[in-house]
Chain A
Amino acid sequence: MRFMLIIKATKDSESEHPTRREVLTAMRKYNAQLARAGVLLASEDLLPSSSGTRLSYPVPGDEAVMKEGPFNETRELVAGFTLIDVRSREEAIEWAFRMPDPRGFGVGEIELRQVNEIPEKYL
């Protein structure tokens, strides 16, 4: 089963400064562990939301409304993700525990979500 480890955005990740070297090194090491265990599918960092675009549908049926970033609600934003394929929820949680604190400063947050793998036609 697949799980996504979603790394939440912080002030730091939303700023233009590059991620700190210690964090990068720790993440690289962690990803190597995932790969060595054969569970890593993908891992990506996102650019700050200042380069993002948002489409919303305030009026159903109408055309989408487009808004350019940056977006304010930092804690709700995503800064990156890691997709893993593991055998159980317990294993996924254990891998989440091993992920290095993505930001430090007491604000790092990782959210673990299971991927829905049931194709549409079976629902």
Chain B
Amino acid sequence: MKKSAVHRSIDGIWRIESPRIIAGLARMVRDVGLAEDLAQDALIVALERWPETGMPDNPGAWLMTTAKRRAIDHLRRNKLRDRKYEELGWEIDRQHEPDWDEALDDPVGDDLLRLIFTTCHPVLSAEAQVALTLRLLGGLTTEEIASAFLVPEPTVAQRIVRAKRTLAAARVPFEVPPKAELAARLSSVLEVIYLMFNEGYAATSGGSWIRPMLCDEALRLGRMLAEIAPDEPEVHGLVALMEIQSSRFRARVSPSGEPILLMDQNRALWDHLLIRRGLTAIERAERLGRAFGPYLIQASIAACHARARTASETDWVRISALYDALSQVAPSPVVELNRAVALSMAFGPEVGLEVVDALMQEPSFKNYHLLPSVRGDFLMKLGRKQEACSEFNRAASLARNEKERELLLRRASESAAQ
């Protein structure tokens, strides 16, 4: 056995190689479920053989070749080849069998791109998209996915099996979508990645100081996507947004587990490497010279906070302008509420109040405690204490979280006392 085999683990190699192998095989067999099975077969062969023969010089290429042979066997055995050849208009001729060696070499990452468009295909539910993407592109085991989502392993296993079946039944082509569909399909990929990230972000509320696994996976996928689809500004926008949000992990919870608001965070605890990466990703997007989409705008807002050395140096004028832009491209009541806060910080509470008042009739906000809480804050700053007090009381009655309720009641009694 070669010396390196002692230290080099098949697990490490598999983590690195499996997405590429699965993607390459999926292009051959046109079925991601089958591609994963074939790749797993190759892994099993490696696990059996390597301890005896020693690690090959290029384990990645070895796995790829073994998996490819299995795929060719499979194509021949199931006569699928003939059908594929017909579909592709090829002669059924041994002499003209496509050069799979070349076919599997994927220097620009097109197969990975096809794979992510497939695992994030809109025929799948959001849950299925996330699970399948983590499995095939992240190389996570079912067990790891289950523990990240705090659901039982069989649930995730089922989700993945069903997702593969759905894709096969819908005959989803293994391709980068045609131009006409590209924008919509890309935004569905980005949505899946951001959903993954937010699941992880939400799971950190206890006294956790570790970046949760799902955030790391989402970031890794985003960075990967930025390399294989470098001409898409929104991809860089999403990466930037995640990098900058991740930079705050160490600062967002106190040692006793209390959440710390952005403005009160110790900025020295921010991860300045991730901030720099986020700012670089924004520059990459800007250099493409296209219109700003919602992720790039949100990233630019996050960047305003990241650039401010102290909370008081925050460029609220720029942030309000960015929220204006965001409310144009992705209007929503939550964006409006944030815009109101930014405007009040930039131009005074009366400007913010005007925006908030327009939101009072918003049906989806009827039971949303942040609306009266923000309005109470503006009124307080304007010296309209009694109105502020009743808004804080109303907010407290709507708050679901005990700590938040306490805080709001305290603000109510403070405003009444003054």
Contacts and interface: CB of A to CB of B under 8 A. Distances in A.
A87 B216 contact: yes
Q: Majority SS of interface residues in chain B?
A: helix
A94 B8 contact: yes
Contact of B109 (A36, A39, A119): A36
Contacts of B16: 37, 91, 94-95
A69 B273 CA distance: 28
Contact of A38 (B9, B11, B224, B273): B224
Contact of A117 (B12, B210, B223): B210
Interface string A31-45: 010011111111000
Contacts, number: 66
Nearest to B60: A98
B209 A122 contact: yes
Interface string B221-251: 1111001100000000000000000000010
Contact of A90 (B9, B213, B227): B9
Contact of B9 (A39, A42, A93, A117): A93
Interface string B1-14: 00010011101110
A119 B209 contact: yes
Given A97-B4, A122-B209, A38 B223 contact: yes
A89 to B, nearest CB: 8
A40 to B, nearest CB: 8
A94 B250 CA distance: 28
A74 B228 CA distance: 39
Pick the most buried of B9, B11, B12, B269: most chain A CB atoms within 10 A of its CB: B12
A50 interface: no
B228 A36 contact: yes
Nearest to A40: B223
A121 B255 contact: yes
A93 B12 CA distance: 7
A85 interface: yes
Contacts of B219: 38, 85
A36 B224 CA distance: 5
A37 B109 CA distance: 10
B220 A39 contact: yes
A72 interface: no
Interface in B1-54: 4, 7-9, 11-13, 15-16
A88 interface: yes
Contacts of A119: 209, 250, 269
A122 B219 CA distance: 25
A19 B216 CA distance: 34
B252 to A, nearest CB: 11
Nearest to A98: B16
Contacts of B9: 90, 93-94
A94 B14 CA distance: 10
5 contacts: A35-B227, A39-B223, A40-B223, A92-B12, A97-B8
Interface of B: 4, 7-9, 11-13, 15-16, 109, 209-210, 213, 216, 219-224, 227-228, 250, 255, 269, 273, 277
The 8 closest A-B pairs by CB, nearest first: A94-B12, A90-B12, A38-B220, A38-B224, A38-B223, A90-B9, A91-B12, A91-B15
